[in-house]
Chains A and B, each alone.
Chain A
Amino acid sequence: METVRGFDGAPPAKVAVQGVSKWFRTERTAVHALDNVSLQVDEGEFICLIGPSGCGKSTLLDIIAGLTKPDEGTVLADDQRVEGPGRHRLVMFQDSALFPWLNVIGNVMFGLTRKPGLSKSERQDIADYHLQLVGLEKFRNAYVHELSGGMKQRVALARSLAPDPRVLLMDEPLAALDAMTRDQLYGDIQRIWQSRKKTIILVTHNVREAVTFGNRVVLMSPPPGSIRQTFEISLPHPRDPNDPRLAAFAQNITSVLKNEVSREAAQ
C-alpha cells in the first residue's frame, strides 16, 4: 500500500443511526418504511443487514449514504451529521451501476478525479492498484458490456474503494451473480476488508452471505421496518461459507426469519 503515491489509507469511521423513521408518501398512501431504527456500527466493523423484502434495509442503507433523507432521526458518521451523499461513504449497487460510456479504468477513475489533492499520475496509480486488487488489471481498457456479471461487480468494488472511503455501503452486491462467482467474491471481499480496514455495511437477503461476512448480523422485520434482533458471529475471518460452524449461526437466524415471514403472512 505504501508504494501507491497519494494514497494514505483513511481510517475507518464509526456510524451511528439514531431514531431514524421514514415514510414514503404518494398522493393516496403513505408507506411506513422505517420506524425508529437505531444502530451503532464500530470502526472497521462488518455489519450485515438482513430481512425479508420490504423490511426497509435498502432504505436504511440509502439514508446512511445520504441519498435519502430520513423524516425523523439522524445519522452520524464519525460524529458528523450526514446531510447528503459524500465520498467518505461510497455505495456499491446490486447491478454494478458502472457507466457504459467509460471503459474499466475510466470507471475506476470517476470518483478519484472528483477527489481533491491528487495529481493525475497519482490517480492513475491508485486506479491501477485497485484494479490489481480485484484481479482485473488485464481488463483496464475493456468496455463495461464486455465484462461478465462477476467482473462488473469487481470493477464496481474497485471503483468504490479507489477514492478511499471510510465506510463502504453494499446494497445486495452479489444478488445477481451465479453461485460460483459469488463464492469467489466471498473470499475477495473478506480479503479486501481485512487488508483495507473499512467499515462495511452490507444489505442482503441471503443468510449464508450474512453469516460469512458479518461481525454482526442485524435482522430487520416489516412493516414498518425495524430492527428485530442482532446476532454476533464470533468466528475469525476469513470464513469459508461452507464452514459447519457458520451453518449453526445461519440456522438460528433462518428460524427467526421464518417466524417473521409467517407472522407477517398471518397479519
Chain B
Amino acid sequence: MKQGVIVAAFFVALVAIWQAAASFSGWSPVLLPPPLAVAEYLWGAINDGSLLDASAVTMRRLIIGYVLGVSIGLTLGLLTASSDTANATIGSLALGLQTLPSVCWIPLALLWFGQSETAMLFIVLMGTVGSVIIATGNGARSIPPVYARAARTMGSEGFDKWLCVILPASLPFLVSGMKQGWAFAWRSLMAAEIYVTIITGFGLGHALHYGRELNAMDQVIGVMLVIVFIGLVTDKALFSPWERFMHRRWGTGLAA
C-alpha cells in the first residue's frame, strides 16, 4: 500500500516536471507539447480507432516474428549446449548475428522481399534468433551435470531424459532466453516499422514516423507511451507467471 503511494507520487511528479518544462522553458509547444495535449491526441486516436488499428498490426507482426524466432532460437540454443561442434558453428554464428543491430538487416530485407510483410518478419526474426540462441545455450550449459547422471541411473535416457530432466532443468534459462527474444523482437520491429513503409498495414512505428513528418510531437510522444505500455504489459503477462513458478520451485529471488 505504502509502496503504491510512492510509485503513484513518483509518476505524478514526473508528469508535473514535464508540465512545468512545457509551461516555463519557453520551448514551442510544437517541440514540447504539454501532457494534456498528448492525452488529447491519445484520446482522439483511440476513439477514431487509428491507434488500436496500428497496435493490432504491430502486435500481429510481433507475435508471428517472436514465436518463429523463439522456436528456432530455443531449439538451436539447446543444440549448441549439447554439442561442442554445434557450439563452435551455430554458436559463433549466433554471436556474430547478435552483434549486428537489427536495423542493419533492413537494406537486405528490402532488396530480397520488397516492401512486404515478409521483409518485416525477416528483420524481426534476424534480430531475435541470435540473442535467444546465446541466452538459451549459455544457460543450458550451466545445468549441473549431476542431474543428467542421476536421471540416467534411474532409467531415464535419450528423449525421456531431454523431456523430463534437461528441459525442466533449463527452464530458468529458457525463460531468460524468451525474455531476451521478446526485448530484441520488439526493438527490431520498431526499427523496421520506422524505416520500411509498406502498404499492407500501418503499425505503431509508422505512426511514430508520420508524427515526425507532420511535426505532430503530441503524436510522437503519445505513440512512444503506447510502445512502452505494450512492452510493460506483455512482460508482465507473458513472463510473470513463469517467474513466479520458478521462484517457488527453485527458491530463487525470494526477498527474505
Most A Cβ at <10 Å: residue of B154, B156, B169:
B154
Please name all residues of chain A whose beta carbon is closer than 8 Å to the beta carbon of B113 when the two chains form the complex: none
Q: Specify the main secondary structure of chain A where it touches its partner.
A: loop
Interface string of B58-76 (1 = CB under 8 A from A): 0000000000000000000
Q: Cβ of B154 and Cβ of A143 under 8 Å apart?
A: no
With A143-B249, A143-B251 as contacts: A101 and B153 at CB distance below 8 Å: no
Q: What chain A residues lie within 8 Å of B168 (beta carbons)? A: 99, 101-102
Question: Which residues of B147-188 are within 8 A (CB) of A?
Answer: 147, 149-156, 160, 164-165, 168-169, 171
Contact, CB under 8 Å: B250 / A100: yes
Residue on A nearest B251 in the bound complex, by CB = A145
Q: Is B248 an interface residue (CB 8 A)?
A: yes
Once the chains are docked, how many angstroms separate the CA of A47 from the CA of B62? Answer: 61
Q: Please, how many angstroms separate the alpha-carbon atoms of A231 and B160 in the complex?
A: 42
Instruction: Write the chain B residue with the least CB distance to A68.
Output: B149
Contact for B149 among A91, A100, A101, A159, CB less than 8 A: A91
Q: How far, in angstroms, from A184 to B147 measured CA to CA in the complex?
A: 26
Name the B residues within 8 Å of A129 (CB-CB).
Answer: none
The CA of A114 and the CA of B164, in the complex, are separated in Å by 11
Task: State whether the Cβ of A78 lies closer than 8 Å to any Cβ in chain B.
Answer: no
Which residues from chain A contact B233 at a C-beta distance below 8 Å?
A: none
Distance to closest chain B CB from A102 (angstroms): 8
What's the nearest-Cβ distance from chain B to residue A222, in Å?
A: 23
Q: Which of B153, B169, B250 has the most CB of A within 10 A?
A: B153
Answer whether residue A48 sits at the interface, using C-beta atoms and an 8 A cutoff: no
Q: CA of A66 to CA of B251 in the docked complex: distance in angstroms? A: 33
In whole Å, how far is B161's beta carbon from the nearest beta carbon of chain A?
A: 10
| Assembled-state Cα–Cα distance A65/B153 (Å) | 7
**A146 interface residue per 8 A CB criterion:** yes
Quick one: CB contact mask for A89-116 with B, threshold 8 Å, 1 for yes? 1110101010111100000001100110
Instruction: Among B155, B169, B248, point to the contact of A99 (Cβ < 8 A).
Output: B169
Which residues 124-144 of A have a CB within 8 angstroms of B?
A: 143-144
User: With an 8 A cutoff between CB atoms, is B146 at the interface?
Assistant: yes
Q: How many residues of A contact B (CB 8 A)?
A: 27
Contacts of A159 in B (CB 8 A): 154
Q: Is the CB of B248 within 8 A of A114?
A: no
* CB-based contact B155/A111 at 8 Å: yes
Minimum CB–CB distance from A24 to chain B (whole Å) comes to: 15
Instruction: With CB as the reference atom, state the residue of chain A lying closest to B164.
Output: A110
Contact among A86, A101, A111, A114 for B169, CB-based, below 8 A: A101
Asked if B171 and A101 sit within 8 Å, CB to CB, the answer is: yes
- Tell me if A85 counts as interface (CB < 8 A to partner B): yes
B110 to chain A, nearest CB (A): 45
A97 contacts across to B, CB distance below 8 A: 144, 146-147, 149-150
Q: Assuming the A-B contacts A95-B146, A97-B147, A101-B168, are A114 and B250 also in contact, with contact meaning beta carbons closer than 8 angstroms in the complex? A: no
Name which residue of chain B comes closest to A143, CB basis: B249
* Structural contact, B153 and A90, CB atoms closer than 8 A: yes
A163 at the interface (CB under 8 A from B): yes
B154–A114 touching, CB < 8 Å: yes
Q: Are A90 and B154 in contact (CB under 8 A)?
A: yes
Q: Kindly state the separation between the CA atoms of A89 and B149 in the bound complex, as whole angstroms.
A: 13
With a cutoff of 8 Å between Cβ atoms, the chain B residues found around residue A90 in the complex are 153-154
Question: Is A247 close to B, CB under 8 A?
Answer: no
Are B155 and A146 interface neighbours, CB within 8 A? Answer: no
Q: Is the CB of B153 within 8 A of A99?
A: no
Inter-chain contacts of A143 with B (CB < 8 A):
248-249, 251
Residue of B with least CB distance to A62? B149
Q: Is the CB of A93 within 8 A of B146?
A: yes
Cβ–Cβ contact B250 & A145, under 8 A: yes
Q: Which residues of A contact B154 (CB under 8 A)?
A: 87, 90, 110-111, 114, 159, 163
Assuming the A-B contacts A99-B168, A99-B169, A145-B250, are A87 and B147 also in contact, with contact meaning beta carbons closer than 8 angstroms in the complex? no
Tell yes or no: A67 within 8 A of B by CB. Answer: yes
Contact of B155 among A95, A101, A115 (CB under 8 A): A115
Contacts A67-B152, A143-B251, A145-B251 supplied; 13 other A-B pairs, CB < 8 Å? A84-B152, A85-B152, A85-B153, A89-B153, A93-B146, A95-B144, A97-B144, A97-B149, A99-B168, A100-B250, A101-B250, A102-B168, A114-B155
* CB pairs A–B below 8 angstroms (25 shown): A65-B153, A67-B152, A85-B152, A85-B153, A85-B155, A87-B153, A91-B150, A93-B150, A95-B146, A97-B146, A99-B147, A99-B165, A100-B251, A110-B151, A110-B154, A111-B155, A114-B155, A114-B160, A143-B248, A144-B249, A144-B251, A145-B250, A145-B251, A146-B251, A163-B155
Please name the 5 residue pairs, one residue from A and one from B, whose CB atoms are nearest each other, closest first. Answer: A145-B251, A111-B154, A114-B155, A97-B150, A101-B168
